[in-house]
Structure 1
């Protein structure tokens, strides 16, 4: 049918579109982003040889720094290997790990109201020492290695534990900073004390700071650049041919899903979304 499209003047370029949406985590549940789930999509997108560009939609509040780096690196490895340009389009958010992935693009284009940035590292937990005291519960912990119970939520917080966690956070934060500087380079228009505090901004403000190249959306930008005859090819996960019906879930599975949903909601709520 290629000859027919050419005859009708509809044989425009094919542009693969990979949509990366969700919290970034090694969790294998649907809707999560990690290298295992994303790598096959990227491979299929970059395998389309006629494509002048690969478009990646990012909509993520962040998550695992390791999975973020692995996904970002795989995008760059494939782009360099195939000699293909990558344009990242931000929807609601490319924050924290989501922004780590976004800077893999040669260009980042966001909606004026998108949330971008949040270049920082966070460690959060709870302390239940007062609660178990009131309940009359005694915590019994036996370890081999004096630092094995770092920040145990049922024991009083120790300054040395906090110092170790802070050191780890600083290492991860520096990796994030180095990645952004390597990818954005001279396009950054503010000093480190402003850009790398963990603060986030709108897409419009992100353009002023050099975190984003322009505002716009996928349909508008790509039609303007590659013509109205272009064809989008959404690269989606392949569905198994056969799957067994599920008639119920264990309480463990229900509880796990509930906790995962709460964690996901917490990631988005940090951005007011």
Structure 2
């Protein structure tokens, strides 16, 4: 028994490895490196943000002072021009606010002999068009100055709603004029949702509150209500056209159906008066060949400032996300 113990004692036992004396130093170095990396990222972000703000403020100053629009007032006889280009909607250059403001300035100028609205628009909001139409009638009566419309490529729908208030409408033979109608469009996805097994859960207070929701079925009652509303607005449009054009209209069954007519056909139907360009109207109709543009346009600097501000905000969000990820 004693011999067995001696044999066992003679077998070498595995040594326990001694701890590496440098592991604490390595861990501390990694921790310090990570902290320095985070600090550098935060410092770069602060510097970048300050530079962006500095550039933004410089652009704002440039837009406000270096390129501020001046009032084109003049006492010499001239034809006042206001352009209506593109979609007629809130927030656009063809919306009611900029157009009405430009028209008021044109009418109030003592040198303007007449106001010409040069239109190239497929239409837009009936509300915005109605505001402009009403203001044309008011300003004409107040200042006793005529208003003429010169159509370029298109004067349709809400654009023609505006044009109907003018004393005369001049077109090119190939212009597109009319589209006296109203539409409400959208999509319905109920069939697709059924195929995909998707259930729409819409909660409303009022049985018809969600009748325009594209993910909910539309009842016949709701469809009839929407159609009656469109018909009502359509009749308003028709009355504006009849009041503005008067006996010059040669009504046909299709006139108020929403069809668009060529400029030549529009003259034949009484939707327009004659053929003519802006220069022709100023020279031969108004008898004031000098044209002064009163259109309110957003200058290039303002557009750049707005886009720069949006880009900077988006960049800030992404940068903050990156910063949060680096800190974690």
Normalized against structure 2, the TM-score is what?
0.67
Matching residue of 1:232: 291
Q: Distance in 1 between matches of 2:96 and 2:83?
A: 14
Matching residue of 2:147: 86
Aligned residue for 1:167, secondary structure, equals helix
Mapping for residues 64-213 of structure 1, pairs under 5 Å: 64-191=125-252, 193-213=253-273
Deviation at 1:238, TM superposition (A): 6.3
Task: Mark the runs of 5 or more structure 2 residues left unpaired by the alignment.
Answer: 1-74, 315-328
Aligned residue for 1:88, secondary structure, equals strand
Contact kept, 8 Å, 2:89 with 2:96, in 1: the verdict is no
Per-residue CA shift, 1:100-137, capped at 9, x if unaligned?
00111100001111111110111111011122233332
Deviation at 1:18, TM superposition (A): 0.3
Matching residue of 1:21: 85
Decide which of 34, 42, 48 is 2:103's aligned counterpart: 42
Matching residue of 1:6: none
Normalized against structure 1, the TM-score is what?
0.80
- Which of structures 1 and 2 has the bigger CA Rg? 2
Q: Distance in 2 between matches of 1:56 and 1:151?
A: 36
Normalized per residue, the structure richer in helix is 2
Deviation at 1:252, TM superposition (A): 11
Aligned residue for 1:151, secondary structure, equals coil
Residues 1:162 and 1:251: Cα distance change in structure 2 (over 3 Å): farther
Decide which of 273, 281, 285 is 1:221's aligned counterpart: 281
Q: Distance in 1 between matches of 2:245 and 2:309?
A: 49
Per-residue CA shift, 1:150-200, capped at 9, x if unaligned?
132112231111100000001000100111111111000123x22111111
Per-residue CA shift, 1:71-101, capped at 9, x if unaligned?
1111111111000100110111110100000
Q: Distance in 2 between matches of 1:160 and 1:226?
A: 53
Contact kept, 8 Å, 1:61 with 1:98, in 2: the verdict is yes
Deviation at 1:230, TM superposition (A): 2.3
Matching residue of 1:262: none
Contact kept, 8 Å, 1:12 with 1:230, in 2: the verdict is no
Residues 1:155 and 1:251: Cα distance change in structure 2 (over 3 Å): farther
Q: Distance in 2 between matches of 1:222 and 1:237?
A: 20
Deviation at 1:250, TM superposition (A): 5.9
Per-residue CA shift, 1:193-235, capped at 9, x if unaligned?
22111111011100000000001111123212355x7210011
